[in-house]
Structure 1
C-alpha cells in the first residue's frame, strides 16, 4: 500500500486519459487500493499498479508511476489485456 500524497499527472498521462476516456476516479482507486503491484523490469524506480474496473467490463487498469516522498507521478495509464495477477 502506498502512503497518500499528491498525484501529479504527466502530459503524456493527461493525453492518454483524455484520448481513452478514462475516469480519474478509476486511477485514484488503482493507486490507493491496487489489486496488485509490480516493479518495472527495466527501471526499478517505476511501479506498475493494477486494478480491476467493474465499471468498464472488469478490465484491468494498469497505472505506471514513480513514487517519491513528495508525490506520486503518473506516467501512463491504460487497460492491459494481458495483465494477470501473479500467483
Structure 2
C-alpha cells in the first residue's frame, strides 16, 4: 500500500507543517471516518495529533487499487462537532 499525495495535499502539508507520518496514521488508524457528503467515493478520516496542539487532523482520501490517494489535509477546527458519540 502506497500513499499518493496530490499536489493540493502536498502544498497544504508544507504550508501547515503537517508531517506525512501524521497523515498515514490518520488514514490507517483514524479515530473516526465518514463518507464525504459531496463526493461519495471519498472518505474523510480524523485523528487527534498531539504535535499539532491536540488539534484534529482531517484527511480526505480514496482508494485506487491497493494505493490510497490523499486529496487534502488540514486541522479541522469544527471536527469535534461531528465526532460520533460513543
Same fold (TM over 0.5): yes
5+ residue gaps, structure 1 = none
Of 10, 14, 31, 1:18 maps to 14
Of 47, 69, 80, 1:51 maps to 47
Q: What is the match of residue 27 of structure 1?
A: 23
Deviation at 1:70, TM superposition (A): 2.7
CA RMSD of aligned residues (A): 0.9
The structure where helix makes up a greater share of residues is 2
SS at match of 1:48: strand
Hey, which bits of structure 1, 4+ residues long, moved more than 6 A?
none
Deviation at 1:38, TM superposition (A): 0.2
Distance 1:10 1:76 in 2: 8
TM-score norm. by structure 2 comes to 0.91
5+ residue gaps, structure 2 = none
